[in-house]
Chain A
Amino acid sequence: DAGVIQSPRHEVTEMGQEVTLRCKPISGHDYLFWYRQTMMRGLELLIYFNNNVPIDDSGMPEDRFSAKMPNASFSTLKIQPSEPRDSAVYFCASAPYSGGSTDTQYFGPGTRLTVL
Chain B
Amino acid sequence: RKEVEQDPGPFNVPEGATVAFNCTYSNSASQSFFWYRQDCRKEPKLLMSVYSSGNEDGRFTAQLNRASQYISLLIRDSKLSDSATYLCVCMDSNYQLIWGAGTKLIIKP
Does A pair with B? yes
Chain A residues in 8 Å Cβ range of B45: 107
* Interface flags, B65-104, vs A, CB<8A=1, else 0: 0000000000000000000000100010011110111100
CA separation between A105 and B45, bound complex, in Å?
8
Which residues on B are within 8 Å of A, measured CB to CB?
A: 31-32, 34, 42-46, 87, 91, 94-97, 99-102
Once the chains bind, are A101 and B32 in contact (CB under 8 Å)? yes
Once the chains bind, are B97 and A102 in contact (CB under 8 Å)? yes
Task: Known contacts A107-B44, A108-B43, A110-B43; decide if A100 and B95 are in contact (CB<8 Å).
Answer: yes
Task: Known contacts A100-B95, A105-B97; decide if A42 and B102 are in contact (CB<8 Å).
Answer: yes
Contact residues, A96-110 vs B (CB, 8 A): 100-105, 107-110
- By beta carbon, the residue of chain B nearest A102 is B95
Closest chain A CB from B97 CB (angstroms): 7
Question: Which listed residue, B34, B42, B44, touches A43 by the CB 8 Å rule?
Answer: B44
For this complex, 5 residue pairs linking A to B, each with C-beta atoms less than 8 Å apart, are: A43-B101, A44-B99, A45-B99, A100-B95, A109-B42
